[in-house]
């Protein structure tokens, strides 16, 4: 059971941490943040963002987003009813290169999975038995808005139509925005790397 003194101390630490995050991202406010109150992970995210303390403006926010996107590790998963043998040679490598280009990431950060020969029904999408594909794209900061995904979608559709010979109505794409704490790597999560 938490007593009232412990609760007040916990709330005080939480407030100090929030003030320091605001200080690092947006510059000093009326109350000075206390150094050292951020966790290592929160300091790492601030370092990756490369945002210097200063007044809040859209340029700083965009810079913060670009910093988070720089640590992103996109996951691209293609599921298709096309037989695995019917997929173009080195298709996974081609998809990796295309995803890196489309998402603006180094190819060594892109993770691609291709599953062929699956039983699929894309109801209302040009016939249930015709071959189809479902592409899932997950990443930090680069698939988080309708405008971003509209651009990515057009380019992924063009690539999949060209490489797989599928009509656009036989392709669906799902975009999943991720946070750094949702990706595990090297025995930790991306927040702390």
Stated pTM of the model = 0.66
Q: What's the start-to-end Cα distance of the chain, in Å?
A: 35
Is the Cβ–Cβ distance between 68 and 47 less than 8 Å?
no
Is the Cβ–Cβ distance between 75 and 139 less than 8 Å?
yes
Q: How far apart are CA 155 and CA 148, in angstroms?
A: 11
**How is domain 72-177 classified at the CATH fold level?**
Macrophage Migration Inhibitory Factor (3.30.429)
Please state, rounded to an integer, the average pLDDT across all residues of the chain: 77
Share of the chain above pLDDT 90, in %: 51
Residue ranges covered by each domain of the chain: 4-69, 72-177
Express each pLDDT in 51-87 by its tens digit. Answer: 343 444 456 555 555 555 555 789 999 999 999 999 9
The set of residues, in sequence order, having a beta carbon less than 8 Å from that of 68 and lying 6+ positions away, is 45, 48, 49, 140, 141, 180
Q: How far apart are CA 106 and CA 156, in angstroms?
A: 17
Express each pLDDT in 5-47 by its tens digit. Answer: 666 666 566 555 555 544 444 444 433 334 444 444 444 444 4
């Amino acid at each position: 059971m938490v007593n009232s003194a412990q609760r007040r101390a916990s709330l005080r630490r939480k407030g100090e941490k929030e003030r320091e995050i605001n200080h690092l991202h947006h510059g000093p406010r009326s109350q000075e943040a206390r150094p050292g109150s951020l966790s290592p992970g929160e300091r790492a995210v601030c370092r990756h963002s490369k945002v210097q303390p200063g007044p809040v403006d859209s340029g700083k926010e965009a810079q913060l987003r670009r910093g988070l996107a720089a640590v992103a590790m996109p996951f691209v998963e293609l599921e298709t009813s096309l037989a695995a043998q019917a997929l173009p040679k080195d298709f996974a490598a081609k998809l990796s290169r295309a995803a890196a280009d489309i998402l603006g990431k180094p190819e060594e950060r892109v993770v691609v999975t291709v599953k062929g020969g699956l039983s699929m029904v894309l109801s209302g999408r040009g016939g249930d038995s015709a071959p189809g594909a479902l592409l899932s794209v997950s990443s930090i900061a680069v698939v988080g808005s309708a405008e971003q995904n509209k651009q990515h979608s057009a380019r992924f559709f063009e690539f999949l139509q060209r490489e797989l010979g599928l009509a656009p109505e036989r392709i669906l794409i799902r975009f999943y925005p991720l946070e750094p704490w949702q990706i595990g790597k090297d025995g930790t999560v991306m927040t702390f790397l």
